[in-house]
Every structure is written in structure tokens, then in C-alpha cells.
Structure 1
Amino acid sequence: MRQNISKHIDGKLSLIIYKHNTPAKYMIFNRNLNKLKKANTTEFLQHHDTCAIIGNSGILLNSGCGREIDAHDLVVRANCARILGFENDVGKKTSIMAFNQASMRLLKQRIGGRKIVDRGLLKMFRTFNNTIAWYPLGAGGKETSALKAVGMKLGFVNFRIAYSISTPMDLSKELWRLRLPSSGLNMFSAMNYYCDKISLYGFFPFYKDTHGRPIRHHYYETVKYNYTDSRHSMPQEYVSLTQLNKDGVLRLVTDQCNY
């Protein structure tokens, strides 16, 4: 699949990471590679053997997959998904936290302003350990500036900031021929460049599990979601991922784990 990705974009440009101790004033989210190289403030993500990409489906509740997830070399999560209190099912490790536009707005409103109004979200950042906070939908603009503002407020102690020159969204549109791929599919598309073996957890866009039991849209909250009337095509994405699982391209985990 990595060869197919290279037909569309330069995969390494999906994650431009600011190095430790880079002053905020030098975080300008430049798209010019020559200028980036000259500034020497950024680096690319290293290659990894095993990677876990965590979706936020309620299928994770009572899965007991936490230890199995944490055993991967790289663990990628998305959109401020809560971990505290769910460690047995979703693990503790967060190598990369990706943010879409909605979660970036949430981040800016709740902990990026003058007053912190979401202590739970703040606590999540405090538990990061060399985590990469990644805005994969482009460089510059309000979103990356908001991420930098949060970093300045919290001192960049536990995390680094990353952005994309070649966006996973554009890659997913080319690979899957979808109008608006989901955050989960975008992460999977991008991580194929960096990972040899990928396992997906929490990718299950349905109202009931395989045993007919009702499940939440998100494991950490009780919001409602209409899978059949959505901007995304999650059931269609799931069909494609299921086929890749059968073909041995990835490992799709939708049941309990026995680690």
C-alpha cells in the first residue's frame, strides 16, 4: 500500500513535527521544504514496526484491549478522545493525538483561551508523554495557531506540535474515492507510510455490535449519531477496511481482546 501512496503524495510530508525546545515564535508552519531545512526546527516521523490506530466507537467499551493497544510501538488517537477512566479498554499510551477542525475549536474554547473551562481536557494534556499533537488538515490558519496557543499556555512540557504539508485528507480522497473521508480513515491512510503492521481498534460505525447489543457512537460519551445520514461514509469505509483485514493488509479488531 505504501507504493500506492507514493503515487499520490510524498508520505513523509504528512507529519512535519517541531523539535523539542523550538520557540513558539519559530513555529510558522511553513510549506517550503528548503526553508524548513534551513530553519532546522522540524523533523519527520520515524518508521515503526507495529502501530495501533484508535477509533472512538463504543465497541471499545468492555473490550479489555488496553494492554494490547499499549504494546504497539506507536499509538495514534483522534479528536480529544478521553482516556482517563477507560484505560482497561483503550490503553494509556498516546504517541500521536490528531485533531480535526471540530476538536480544534473545542480545544481553543476550553483550554486555549484566557480561562480554562475543561479540567478533564487539561488533564489529558498533562498525561501526555512526548506525544505529538497533530493537525493533519493543513499548514497555517486558525487551527494550527490555536494548537500553538495551547502549547504556549501549557509550556510544551509533555507534547510536540505537528502539521501536514501533504494532507491525509487529500490522500484518502485519492485512495478511497470518497467525498469526505473520516478522521479515522485519514489516519490509517497516512500511517501506512510510517508503519509496517497496523491494527485498528474502535472502527465500528454501527448501532449494535455483532451480538446485537446496543453500543455508543463514542465510547466516552452518549452522543447520538446517524450513520446513514452523515457527511462521512463510515459504513462504506468499514466494508473497505474489512476487505483489507481479510487480505492481511491490516488487523481490524472489533471484539474483546485476550492479551
Structure 2
Amino acid sequence: MEDFKQHYNTCALVSNSGQLLNSKASQEINEAECIIRMNHAPTFNYSEDVGNRTTIRVCSFQAIGNIKKGLYVGKEKSDYVFMWGMDNPKRRSWARLRLRKVANMFPNQRFFTLRNRGEHLAEAIYESETQIDRDKTNSWLSTGWFTMLLALEICDDLKVYGLVSEDYCRTHNKTKVPYHYYEEQKYDECQMYDQHESQFVQGHRYLTEKSVFHRFAVLFNVSFRHPEWNIQDYNYTKLYSPFLRKWNNKTEEKGR
């Protein structure tokens, strides 16, 4: 596949979170030169809150067959679709086969894939920022992680919509917000985050990733909307998340 060479002055990274419901953020999102969405998040029926245009859609290799056909054609179609996880040797054959089938079904949709060395770089950045080993901590990188790194690479001015900070659930523990704005799930947003952050079995470390995003916001031209993040007073030298606290405590106990 060809290399992606686009670069943008302004970008809106729109999360899948229920935080966006009733936000009326459409106008400011649509003003961005590049609008980035993830996996199968739709705009239809939600355009007043999430905008109605998609430049880039970033998808997990697992989402290839789950993305609704309408997201590849018509008003929901994005200019580009980025797939991550495609080049991993463990799943390269079947993942590429599935992508080839989808690409043949929708010849007008442009697809790009993250190379294996790009995934290794994403993992190295995670480990460098958190100071923990991803494999030893049984941690999975999320689509949001890959999307943020892509956005930082191709955007001069990045605004992120609907993403909560790493301490949001601690300070809003009575707030019930849907995990996704477009579908009902068993757990609300904070329940989902807490479940993944509180255990050492395999899982996503959503709040841990968000603590790194908070650091990125201090170092790069990144801001957060709906809800707003406190960037000015943030101490970026020390990361905080429930999982990091539990893991560091466990490590200290072993060292005694």
C-alpha cells in the first residue's frame, strides 16, 4: 500500500464516548480541516453532537468485518481508513485477507495500514511514558492510543472531543455516562474504565493512556473539549492512574 503523506493545520479527534451526547459540538468539529473518528462510530442521527464529516477513520484489525457497510459509502464515508494490527505476524495472513475482501467490495474507499515497526514504536512510546512493560502487565493498547499518536504526527493543532481525563471517574463517581454515544452497553463509561484498570489480567488501560494524553497536552498543541481538561496546572512529570498505582504498589511489595 502507498504511504500516507497528508498533513493538516487543524484536526478534531472525535471520541466514541457518551460524553458527546447533547454537547452540540457539531459546528466546532466541522470547522476542523481534518476530522478523525474511530472504529464504527457513526455520524447519522448524531450529527448535532459529533459533526457530519469524516476525514480519517482509525480501526482495529478486529473491526474489519464489524464496520457497517454504510460507513464505506455515501455521506458516512471517510476519505481514508487506517487499520492497525494488520501486520502482526500472528494474524497477518487472515487480517490481510479480510481487508482485501473489504477493499474489493468498496473500491472507492482508500485504505492504509500501520506497519509492524509502527506498532512497535507505539508500544515503545507507551512503555517509555508509563515506565511499565506492556507484556508483563498484560496490557492491550487501544484504538484510541494509535489514533492519538497518528493525530500528533499529522496535525499542527489538535482538539479532542468527548475524552475524559484520567481523574474524571474519581471526581465524578456518581455520574453515569454511556461508554459509547451510539449504542447501549452493559457498563457505563467509568465502570468500563474501572474494570480494566483494577485487574492484572489482560485488558486495556484506558485511564493510564489518558494520563499520557494529559502529558502530551502539556508538551504539544493539544486541547480537550466536552469535557475540558485542566492543562495549565497539570504536573506532567508524574503520571497517575488506578492501574499504575496498583502495579507500582505490587512491585514495591515484591521488592521488600
Per-residue CA deviations over 1:51-79 (Å, capped at 9, x if unaligned) read: 12122111011111122112111111111
User: Residue 61 of structure 2 contacts residue 95 of structure 2 at CA under 8 Å; is this kept in 1?
Assistant: yes
Amino acid at match of 2:69: L
The alignment's TM-score, normalised by the length of structure 2, stands at 0.68
User: Residue 18 of structure 2 contacts residue 181 of structure 2 at CA under 8 Å; is this kept in 1?
Assistant: yes
User: Residue 207 of structure 1 contacts residue 215 of structure 1 at CA under 8 Å; is this kept in 2?
Assistant: no
Q: In 2, distance between residues paired with 1:104 and 1:208? A: 34
Partner of 1:144: 96
Q: In 2, distance between residues paired with 1:247 and 1:216? A: 30
Amino acid at match of 2:125: L
1:228 aligns with 2:180: no
Q: 1:44 to 1:52 in 2, by over 3 A?
A: same
Q: In 1, distance between residues paired with 2:56 and 2:227? A: 24
Q: In 2, distance between residues paired with 1:249 and 1:233? A: 24
The CA deviation at 1:48 is 1.1
What is the Cα-based RMSD across aligned positions, in Å?
A: 2.6
Amino acid at match of 2:42: R
SS of aligned partner of 1:196: strand
Q: In 1, distance between residues paired with 2:170 and 2:97? A: 39
User: Residue 199 of structure 1 contacts residue 250 of structure 1 at CA under 8 Å; is this kept in 2?
Assistant: yes
Q: In 2, distance between residues paired with 1:129 and 1:105? A: 16
* Structure 2 gap segments, 5+ residues each: 128-133, 197-202, 229-256
* Identical-residue share of aligned pairs (%): 21
The CA deviation at 1:182 is 1.4
Partner of 2:71: 124
Amino acid at match of 1:165: R
Amino acid at match of 1:163: T
Per-residue CA deviations over 1:21-80 (Å, capped at 9, x if unaligned) read: xxxxxxxxxxxxxxxxxxxxx242311111121221110111111221121111111111
Partner of 1:188: 148
The CA deviation at 1:254 is 2.5
Q: Identify the match of residue 69 of structure 1 among 19, 29, 32.
A: 29
* Structure 1 gap segments, 5+ residues each: 1-15, 17-41, 108-120
Per-residue CA deviations over 1:192-223 (Å, capped at 9, x if unaligned) read: 22111111112238669959542100010011
SS of aligned partner of 1:97: strand
Per-residue CA deviations over 1:90-122 (Å, capped at 9, x if unaligned) read: 111111111113312424xxxxxxxxxxxxx22
Partner of 2:17: 57
Q: In 2, distance between residues paired with 1:213 and 1:132? A: 35
The alignment's TM-score, normalised by the length of structure 1, stands at 0.68
Amino acid at match of 2:79: T
Q: In 1, distance between residues paired with 2:161 and 2:120? A: 23
